Amino acid sequence: MKGDYKETRDGEKKATGEEERYQLCLQLREDIQKGKLPCSQVTHALLGSYVVQSELGDHDPEKHGNDTAYLKPFNFAPNGTSDDEQKKLEEKVLELHKTHKGQTPSEADLHFLENAKKLAMYGVDLHHARDAEGVDIMVGVCEKGLLVYRDRLRINRFAWPKILKISYKRNNFYVKLRPGEYERFESTIGFKLANYRAAKRLWKSCVEHHTFFRLVTPERPSKRPLIHLGSNFRYSGRTLHQTRAATATIDRDNPSFRRANPSTRATQSLDGYSGSSDHDPERVDEVIMAQSASNEERPRSIIEDHVMPYADNPEDAHKPQPSDGPDEDGIVLANDGSYISRETTVTTTTTTKTFTVNDDEEEEKEQNILEGEPILLELESPNATVTTTTYYSELSSPITEKVFLELTPKPNEDETPIVMDEAPTQESSPPPPPPSTMDDTSPPNPPLPIEEKDTPAVPADTEEDDELVQVVPTDQEENQPFVRTANIVHQVAGEENDETVHTTDVPFVQTENTTITFEKDAPDITDGDGTLISAQTLSSETCTTTHYAHNEGFNNLESCFKKSSVIDRFTIKGNVTQTKVEKKIVIQGDGEIDHNQVLAQTLEEEKKSNPSFTVTRIEVRKEGEEVLDVTNGETEVE
Amino acid sequence: MADATDVERLFTFDAVVMRGIPDSLKAEALRTEDLGEVDLEEARKHHEAYQSVMRDQLKLHVEVLEADESLPDCCFVEDCAVVVDGVALITCPGSPSRRPEVTLIKRILGGGLGQEIVEMTEKGATLDGGDVLFTGKEFFVGLSSRTNQKGANSLANAFPNYPVSGIKVNGHLHLKSMMSMAGPGIIAVGSSDHSQKAIRQIKKVSNFDYTTVTLPDDAAANCVYINKTLLHCSQDEFPESYKVFAEKFPKTPRVAIPNNELFKVDGALTCKSLLICKKPKV
């Protein structure tokens, strides 16, 4: 029987009915037989005794005799066990079998499962691989994360919360880890698999295990062009959370099923019961624990230990860190305030979600989708570096991964052109190892839709303002030799009476702000079956300011200031912790500067220094004017 | 996975195996440093005290094997076997001079004490019991000058029900020279750099969570948790560490056992005994 089951250590009682348990037992027996689940002799005997009880019922000297002959049809240990050991094993089984009197097949199965799940290798999906030094190892995927074994010895372990990204490329499998307590940087570990298929299989296993055990709802595969490289594979079944929620509502009778057994079991009734049925013991087995659905233990995240306690008031969480930059509103006034400046805000966010990267700038063609294939097309271009890197999002890690593919800037009256076009080179350059997180890298193509934000994400701009600042230009006279001033009306938030309104005259600077926001959306947690249990958003912000002097024939006045701030937002939804890291760069400069060039350069710099960030929004703002949002807006992924 | 009662059960014993101190220990026992001459009379007094605690206080069956003059380290029986839940893995000690020690141990464990004997069959595999830390839920094996990868693997094969992880050991003879179990889920560890490095490794790879109690003296981190009682260093030997034990374990019955003499030849408290449960628990 090919088993494709998810082994969870406490699920047996809760989630399954009698037949399911029986099937699971059969699968486990097969695994033990094949040596996939190593056990001690004592355990072989114990498990064997439960199998015998389940199949043959109570030990009866009349039917079974007093020796081990009746156990001949059974195989309790992997092939390769010596005859001597077999004999010893059978004797132990006989002893134990006698002690199980009165157990129904269902009860015996339950005991079998209880003991099997205690085994160290239970629920571990093993893959042969080689480490960076070429040493033979095994990579194990399980409920808690990844394990690395040298023979039977564990030499390493990566819990899911520690993993930022998993990817595969050709026959290599990569795991990117969060920096440890004493480390500053992330680390990536690579393994060599036998071939591409094996690498992909390992990756898929990780996706499945992670989704099932860690996520509230499975991730939807993103909508992609017909022809694309790499896998769009996502686990599509129910997650553990959903399974538990669903079984809490199931209330059904055990269907009758026939148990296969090596010996004839004429006395067994077809409905699976043995012995009397005056009470219904099977009902008890189908334990439905309604509370298990809601009392899901939240996967522990390392970050939580450091960052929590939670801010009860999401507002508190938005308090920015003390920064050494200028005021938070992102507007940097020039020293003399006598020029018209333009401000570009570039916001980048770390993206830790992996998608397959399409390096080939192919035209989209109409083609038939191969049925049943998660990958539409896999091409190996000999010229371009094909990255079949697949990113996998780690929702429970502090850094959420979700790459937003670029936006389609709306045509706008502002002269700011579409950012992506400005810097096509960054997109199509082969990503350095570890593979980059950039998504679709073909600029001319329409971008992929941005996923809807579920977090109560505060748009970057509003964070800065504690006060409402209205800028009202005063007398606008052309040829005014003096600096135009504007009346700034301060209204302290929360105070309603006008007595607290202050007015200040400040130099009126017409600035153009281009804000590029790289965002990471929250995953569709509330989509489908999932329930939003609670959501709290915390964030921390760090700001740095760089004075960027554009040095191409401009005079001193024509310089621009660049201020960058990094905002980490942690959102906790039920048992999922997600962090969004948003970096916003505000470029404010003289109107004479080729603003677009500065923008492009900034993007390039950012791309180089933070390859995992993606641009999600570009905003151009002229001070005193309405903000022109040049982003695509938010569209929901199907 | 074992739960709390399971773990406590695994630290409950009804028999202890020890071995007498041979005269040859004074001159010939292996030692990493020269810490002075061993006073055999003192050492034997401490040995007696240890036995007395086991027999009279903890009511265990104490089996004291005869010392063998040709085996100067034979009193450190811990290195000869790893016994858990009725299964005894007979080791191949890293130091060739100590290998003959296991013969008698094997006979005693497999005989009257009813343990299931497992031997290390892989060629080149070496393992010292002092490198094996069993927490009740999993094993940590120190990869030291005495225990190698193959040896650790043999342990994993012998105890397939438990995760077994390898821990690099530096600056000390054995893993348990730096740490030991002080209770269910509690690891007592020394404060030296080496010890801290080792415990950090453990925290990284462990399958389960543990609390740590840090002792100022590395040697004091070797203590024996048995039948809900904690045996540890004396106040004279390591006064600071003694204080820590008193503070951190106010409710646990504790017994201070002096060990200054055998300490000179790298003998710690756990080295002197093999803790057995005569009736294997299934």
Answer yes or no: do B162 and A120 touch at CB < 8 A. yes
Strand spans (E) along A53-160 = 125-130, 136-141, 145-150, 153-159
Answer yes or no: do B160 and A38 touch at CB < 8 A. yes
Answer yes or no: do A153 and B282 touch at CB < 8 A. no
Domain ranges of chain B: 4-22+38-276
**Out of A9, A120, A156, closest to residue B205 by CB:** A156
Tell me the CB-side half-sphere exposure of residue A245, using CA atoms within 13 A: 13
**Out of A41, A119, A151, closest to residue B153 by CB:** A151
Evaluate whether B280 touches B116 at the Cβ level (below 8 Å): yes
Q: Which residues contact A75 (CB under 8 A, 6 or more apart)?
A: A33
Mean pLDDT of A190-205: 94
CA-CA-CA-CA torsion sign (B260, B265, B269, B274):
negative
Q: Mutation test of the interface with chain B: which of A82, A154, A297, choosing the one with the most B Cβ atoms within 10 A?
A: A154
Answer yes or no: do B86 and A42 touch at CB < 8 A. yes
CA distance A39 to chain B (A): 5
Annotated binding site of B: 30, 73, 78-79, 98, 146, 265
Q: Mutation test of the interface with chain B: which of A8, A9, A40, choosing the one with the most B Cβ atoms within 10 A?
A: A40
Residues belonging to chain A with any Cβ–Cβ distance to chain B shorter than 8 Å: 9, 38-43, 46, 96, 117-121, 144, 150-157, 180
Q: Mutation test of the interface with chain A: which of B1, B131, B140, B161, choosing the one with the most A Cβ atoms within 10 A?
A: B161
CATH class of A124-220+232-248: mainly beta
Per-residue pLDDT of B111-125, as tens digits, reads: 989 898 999 988 999
Per-residue pLDDT of A313-363, as tens digits, reads: 333 334 443 333 343 333 333 333 333 345 555 555 443 333 333 333 333
Our answer to whether residue B271 is catalytic in this structure is yes
Architecture of domain A18-117 in this structure? Up-down Bundle (1.20)
Q: Report the C-alpha gap between B17 and B19 in whole angstroms.
A: 7
Per-residue pLDDT of A580-604, as tens digits, reads: 666 777 766 655 556 777 778 878 8
Our answer to whether residue B61 is catalytic in this structure is no
Report the pLDDT value the prediction gives residue A81, as an integer from 0 to 100: 76
Per-residue pLDDT of A18-66, as tens digits, reads: 888 899 999 999 988 888 888 888 889 999 999 999 998 888 888 888 8
| Three-class DSSP category at B63 | strand
Answer yes or no: do A39 and B282 touch at CB < 8 A. no
Give backbone dihedrals phi and psi of A406, rounded to 5 degrees, phi first: -65, 165
Catalytic residue among B74, B233, B271, B277: B271
Answer yes or no: do B116 and A42 touch at CB < 8 A. yes
Report the pLDDT value the prediction gives residue A423, as an integer from 0 to 100: 32
Beta bridge partners of A43: none
CA distance B196 to chain A (A): 13
Evaluate whether A588 touches A331 at the Cβ level (below 8 Å): yes
The count of CB pairs under 8 A between chains A and B is 69
| CA-based nearest residue in chain B for residue A114 | B1
**Out of B116, B152, B161, closest to residue A153 by CB:** B152
CA distance B197 to chain A (A): 12
Evaluate whether A366 touches A226 at the Cβ level (below 8 Å): yes
Q: How confident is the model at residue A622 (pLDDT cuts 50, 70, 90)?
A: low
Domain ranges of chain A: 18-117, 124-220+232-248, 387-395+513-519+530-621
Q: Report the C-alpha gap between B188 and B252 in whole angstroms.
A: 14
**Out of A43, A96, A180, closest to residue B161 by CB:** A43
CA-CA-CA-CA torsion sign (A18, A22, A25, A27):
negative
CA distance B141 to chain A (A): 9
Tens digit of pLDDT at every position of chain B (282 positions): 456 777 888 999 999 999 999 999 998 888 888 888 899 999 999 999 999 999 999 999 999 999 999 999 999 999 999 999 889 999 999 999 999 999 999 999 999 898 989 999 889 999 999 999 999 999 999 999 999 999 999 999 899 889 999 999 999 999 999 999 999 999 999 999 999 999 999 998 898 899 999 999 999 999 999 999 999 999 999 999 999 999 999 999 999 999 999 999 999 999 999 999 986 544
Q: Kindly report which listed range (A464-468, A495-499, A572-576) carries the lowest average pLDDT score.
A: A464-468
Answer yes or no: do B164 and A40 touch at CB < 8 A. no
Answer yes or no: do A157 and B141 touch at CB < 8 A. no
The pTM of the whole model exceeds 0.80? no
CA distance A121 to chain B (A): 8
**Out of B160, B164, B207, closest to residue A39 by CB:** B160
Report which of B127, B242, B234 is spatially closest to residue B188, judged by C-alpha positions: B242
Answer yes or no: do B161 and A144 touch at CB < 8 A. no
Q: How confident is the model at residue A478 (pLDDT cuts 50, 70, 90)?
A: very low
**Out of A41, A144, A157, closest to residue B204 by CB:** A157
Answer yes or no: do B164 and A155 touch at CB < 8 A. no
Q: Mutation test of the interface with chain A: which of B1, B139, B159, choosing the one with the most A Cβ atoms within 10 A?
A: B1
CA distance B35 to chain A (A): 35
Sort out which chain B residues have CB atoms less than 8 A from A119's CB and list them: 160-161
Answer yes or no: do B157 and A153 touch at CB < 8 A. no
Residues belonging to chain B with any Cβ–Cβ distance to chain A shorter than 8 Å: 1-2, 86-87, 116, 138, 141, 149, 152-153, 156-166, 204-207, 280, 282
Sort out which chain A residues have CB atoms less than 8 A from B199's CB and list them: none
The ipTM estimated for the assembled molecules is 0.86
Q: Quick one: tokens of A65? A: 């005799």
Report the pLDDT value the prediction gives residue A485, as an integer from 0 to 100: 54
Residue A368 has pLDDT above 70, yes or no: no
Answer yes or no: do A152 and B164 touch at CB < 8 A. yes
Annotated binding site of B for substrate: 30, 73, 78-79, 98, 146, 265
Q: Kindly report which listed range (A394-403, A406-415, A442-451) carries the lowest average pLDDT score.
A: A394-403
Q: Report the C-alpha gap between A351 and A176 in whole angstroms.
A: 13
Answer yes or no: do A150 and B166 touch at CB < 8 A. yes
Strand spans (E) along chain B = 15-19, 61-65, 81-84, 87-90, 116-119, 132-134, 139-143, 164-168, 179-183, 186-190, 211-215, 224-226, 229-232, 254-256, 274-276
Report which of A324, A595, A593, A318 is spatially closest to residue A461, judged by C-alpha positions: A318
A553/A33: higher pLDDT: A33
Mean pLDDT across chain A: 60
Sort out which chain B residues have CB atoms less than 8 A from A46's CB and list them: 282
Q: Report the C-alpha gap between B221 and B191 in whole angstroms.
A: 9
Strand-pair category, B224-226 with B229-232: antiparallel
Superfamily of domain B4-22+38-276: L-arginine/glycine Amidinotransferase; Chain A (3.75.10.10)
Catalytic residue among B80, B174, B233, B277: B174
Q: Report the C-alpha gap between A160 and A17 in whole angstroms.
A: 29
Strand-pair category, A627-629 with A613-622: antiparallel
**Out of B160, B166, B206, closest to residue A153 by CB:** B166
